[in-house]
Amino acid sequence: MKSSLSTNIGSLRLDQPTVLASGILGISLDVFKRLHNAGAGAVVTKSLSKEPWEGYPNPTIFSVKGGGWINAVGLSNPGAETFAKMIEPNDDVPIIVSLVGSIEDDFEYMMKKFEKCNVAAYELNLSCPHVAKVGLEIGDDIELVSKIIKRVKSVTDVPIIAKVGLGKSDYLKTVEAAVSSGVDAITAINTVRAMAIDVETQMPILSNKIGGLSGTPIKPIALRCVYEIASKFDIPIMGCGGISSWEDAVEFILAGASVVQFGSVMGDHWVETFSEINSGIQNYMERKGYATIGEMVGRAKRQ
């Protein structure tokens, strides 16, 4: 039996379940094409804002001794308008546009810039852990989350995905607000607030001092979140957080994710990651007798 890797996230159908996470390699259409050819089912762009942002000075990314990465890039991005112009010629790569903003007007304003583009879905970044007034501060404000989702659902037919993370309030409340406001899918989770101090210089290493932890150390946490969301809500999920092997990817699917996103693993394994994980998932499906990804989604919840 030949198993199919195609998967659905709401109305969006992807040929492969492996997706490039936001913030990773997300500023060039040529790079998106390369990743798609390398096996990415879709790519999520860097989070775009109304105006271009330079981000923080370096150091912005480094690895943690013992595993994982800490970053505080500071949402550097060329701005929605410039970015929209760059991807306008695209007609073959499924591009999920990630957006950050402070109020519902920001998101509507940016979506207008993408009217001429093929946008597979919008992922609203409600969970960046290292930039004030956007990201986690928004995700923690349940009422604002509802307002934003309701507004964007009223201005576009493109699927809306909310990316949640671990902020100060219960992330399940954020998910609940998003789901009841009509969101099409949830991405869980973002990086987790973290830092590292160099003992010789006795200084925080990141220029922003605090950033987000990604990579293998957060995988069990992200998996738990996907499992919890899948258990409580009937909503498609993109699992994200420390996925670095086909086995990790299958774990997330069994927990309830229809799609897996990854990024940090690229720092170690580079673009080959997509085809390696895809073929690992396919081998597993054939061994276990699954024809489709859908048959596996949430299997671990069945007891």
Q: How many CA atoms lie within 13 A of 162 on its CB side?
A: 33
Applying the rule CB under 8 A, the residues between 119 and 158 that interact with other proteins are: none
Applying the rule CB under 8 A, the residues between 234 and 263 that interact with other proteins are: 263
Q: Using CB under 8 A, which of the segments 59-67, 95-103, 180-188, 292-300 binds other proteins?
A: 59-67
Tokens 């480094």 found at = 62
The CB-based long-range contact list for 279-284 (8 Å cut-off, 24+ gap) reads: 279/246, 280/245, 280/246, 280/247, 280/249, 280/250, 281/5, 281/17, 281/18, 281/246, 281/249, 281/250, 281/253, 282/3, 282/5, 283/246, 284/246, 284/250
**How far, in Å, CA of 98 to CA of 26, rounded?**
10
CB 259 within 8 A of CB 120: no
Closest CB 229 distance from other proteins, rounded Å = 26
Q: Does 276 sit near other proteins (CB under 8 A)?
A: no
Name which position in 4, 15, 62, 103 contacts other proteins (CB under 8 A). 62
| Pattern 158-197, other proteins, x by CB under 8 A | ----------------------------------------
Q: Which residues pair with 165 in a beta bridge?
A: none
Strand partners, 97: 122
Helix (H) or strand (E) holding 277: helix 272-288
Site for other proteins in 87-126 (CB under 8 A): none
Nearer to other proteins, 61 or 195 (CB): 61
Q: What is the dihedral of CA 47, 49, 51, 53, to 10 degrees?
A: -40
Is residue 240 part of the annotated active site? The answer reads: no
Strand 95-99 versus strand 42-44 pairing type:
parallel
Closer by beta carbon to other proteins, 72 or else 253? 72
Nearer of residues 69 and 252 to other proteins, judged by Cβ? 69
**Among 26-34, 102-110, 179-187, 276-284, the segment contacting other proteins (CB under 8 A):** 26-34
Tokens of residue 203, six digits: 């200084």
Q: Which is nearer to other proteins, 206 or 254 (CB)?
A: 206
Catalytic-role residue among 117, 128, 225, 240: 128
Instruction: Choose between 73 and 177: whose C-beta lies nearer to other proteins.
Output: 73
Which residue in the set 4, 10, 15, 27 belongs to the binding site for other proteins (CB under 8 A)? Answer: 27
Of 46-54, 116-124, 133-141, 240-248, the window that binds other proteins (rule: CB under 8 A) is 46-54
Count of residues interacting with other proteins (CB under 8 A): 44
Residue 123 identity: E
Q: Which stretch binds other proteins (CB under 8 A): 48-56, 174-182, 185-193, 223-231?
A: 48-56
Query: Is the CA virtual torsion 212, 215, 217, 220 positive or negative?
Result: positive
Strands (E), 255-297: 259-262
54 binds other proteins (CB under 8 A): yes
Q: Which is nearer to other proteins, 10 or 67 (CB)?
A: 67
Q: Can you give the length of the chain in residues?
A: 303
* Position 57 contacts other proteins (CB under 8 A): yes
Binding positions for other proteins, rule: CB under 8 A: 23-28, 30-31, 33-34, 46, 52-55, 57-65, 69, 71, 73, 76-79, 82, 86, 198, 200-201, 203, 205, 207, 263-264, 266-267, 270
Question: Residues with catalytic annotation?
Answer: 128
